[in-house]
Structures are given as C-alpha cells and as structure tokens.
Amino acid sequence: MNAEHEGLVVASHGRHCVVETADGERRICHPRGKKSQAVVGDRVRWRAAAPGQGDEGTIEQVLARRNLFYRQDEVRTKSFAANLDQVLVLIAAEPVFSESQLVRALIACEAAHIPALIALNKSDLVEPFARAWERLWPYRHMGGDGQAAHHYGVLPLSLTQSGDVDREALLPLLQGKTTLVLGPSGAGKSTLVNLLVPQAKAQTGEISQALNSGRHTTTSTQLYWIDDERRTALIDSPGFQEFGLRHLVPSDLARCMPDIAAHAGECRFYNCTHLHEPGCAVLAHVGSDARTPGAISAQRHRIYGELFDELSQSRY
C-alpha cells in the first residue's frame, strides 16, 4: 500500500476535494468514509492510488481543526471552511446590501470564534456609498469604548477604481493569514480575488475544472495563495445568499451579537430573551439615539428578533 502524506485541502466540490501536497502539487482525492469528509482549509492525511489505479487519491484522515466555519440550512448542513484566521465580508454601495445577511454572516463568525472584517466596495459611487457607509455606523463603532479596539474592522474600497491603493490597504490585514471571503453577488468578490491573486485562474487550473465538470455548476469553495511562499491565503466561497444559522439555538444569538452581549448579563431574568421582558437591559439600550455609547440600533434588535423566531421554529 502507498504511504500516507499530509496535505491541505484547497478546493472541494461535493465529496471530492483537491489536496495540495507539501511541494505544491495538487490532486483530486475522495474521502474514504464519512469521517474523512474534508472541507477547504483542512489538513489531511491522504494516500495515492495503487499503481495503475489512476491519479486520484483517498483522504484517510482529517486532522484536528482549529475552527470550522459553517452555515446550516433546514435540509442540509454545509460547511464552508476550516482553520480560518478571519472572515472578510465584502459588500458594496450597490447592489444595496442586506443587513440581515450581514448580521447572519457576522453571527456565524462569532459562533465559530473567528474575527470578522467588513469591506464596503464601490466608494466611487458617491451617494449610494454614503448611504451604505451610514448604514454601517453601528458596525464601525461597535465595542471600542475607551481604549478597546472596535469589534469589527470596516474598510472602504473601490476595487475597480483604486485597486493599487486597495491592495496596499488589504495586504497588511491579510499577511500570513487564511481569510475566507464572503459576499453577495455583484459586490466585487471576483474583482477582489483577481486583484490579489492575478494568477487565480492558473491556480485553480485544470484539476478544479475536472472536479467541476459535468456537475452543472462551476461554483465551489477554492483556496488561493496570495504569495509565492504559500503563507497568505484567500478562500473564495459561494453561497452568501441563503445563509442558514440552523446550527445555533436562539439563546446563542445574544452572545454572538457584541452590542447585545454587552448588556445581556444585566437583565433581571437570567433567561431573558431580550424581546419583551421587564427589566431587560438590552431593550433599555435599543435605540432612540443609536449613537450614544452602548446603544443597540433598532435595526439590529429587529434582526435579532427575526433570527430568534427563525431558530425557535421546530427543528427537523
């Protein structure tokens, strides 16, 4: 039997993966069993096929994960990626972004203990950008009382107009890290990947095309190296639109929304839902004046309530 090697999963489609070896070679691998189902970012032990059995390998074991970022829908669980250092949520002045989708993505980050960065693209569209930047006010100011840093970094971009400037702003934030990029269609995700990884198409290469061929879609999660040393990675993943949080229970939500979490311990009832209870410290901070320190925007509290209801529906 062939020896086992360690590798990194750099693409996945269904149950098939592309594994990159220590010397940068990539090949398709199939999981040996349910337990060896890997996602992009996983470190795995894999084994080449026996001589004469083709080039495809098998994944024998998924090594312990530092974290696992996922969304869960009612019908199926869908993991995005493992072993992330951060998530970059890319939205834009246009198309107008859904705050509910943004909140879902940020909650999923928080639940997996992964720091999140928000980038707002298309600053050249002056008026829509100003409106969107304004909508991000709570995100630009969350945390950050006194000496503490803000909870989320929020970055303006104009990828097609000032790509060089944007690259210089982004690189130090990405350096040496593995960053999952999420964003709704049309925000500029492909533009971002092409800016940072000019050879993206080449890296994806024939092997990923082979993986996708005949499966009626070319979308799959992909890891790209930004640098030649292969230390800085971007992971591009489709599927921001239907971002399920069914892996969470309603009572997880408050701790995953930092502005709500800041007050959730001060309520009269220990099991307060922060929706209607008397003596609720969260409700007391929901805001007429969203700009006072510690305020919770009415919009975010409304989204919290919607998610609370959604996660309270019977599970199946």
Per CB under 6 A, the segment of 37-45, 182-190, 261-269, 291-299 that binds ligand GTP is 182-190
C-beta of residue 188 within 8 angstroms of C-beta of residue 156: no
Q: Is 87 in the site for Zn ion (CB under 5 A)?
A: no
Task: Give me the phi and psi of 8, to 5 degrees please.
Answer: -120, 130
Q: Kindly state the tokens that stand for 286.
A: 């929901």
Q: Is 267 in the site for Zn ion (CB under 5 A)?
A: yes
C-beta of residue 190 within 8 angstroms of C-beta of residue 156: no
Per CB under 5 A, the segment of 99-107, 120-128, 207-215, 278-286 that binds Zn ion is 278-286
Say how many C-beta atoms besides its own lie within 10 A of residue 52's C-beta.
Answer: 5
Q: Report the interhelical angle of 189-196 vs 163-174 (nearest 10°).
A: 80
Say how many C-beta atoms besides its own lie within 10 A of residue 190's C-beta.
Answer: 14
Residue 285 is labelled as binding a ligand: no
Contact with ligand GTP (CB under 6 A) among 160, 175, 312, 313: 160
Contact with ligand GTP (CB under 6 A) among 13, 189, 263, 300: 189
How would you class 274 by CB atoms within 10 Å of its CB: exposed for 0-12, middle for 13-18, buried for 19 or more? buried
C-beta of residue 107 within 8 angstroms of C-beta of residue 253: yes
Q: Is 186 in the site for ligand GTP (CB under 6 A)?
A: yes
Binding track over 224-263 against Zn ion, x by CB under 5 A: ----------------------------------------
Per CB under 6 A, the segment of 14-22, 154-162, 220-228, 267-275 that binds ligand GTP is 154-162
For ligand GTP, the binding residues (CB under 6 A) are 121-122, 124-125, 158-161, 183, 185-191
Binding positions: 121-124, 183-191, 267, 272, 274, 280
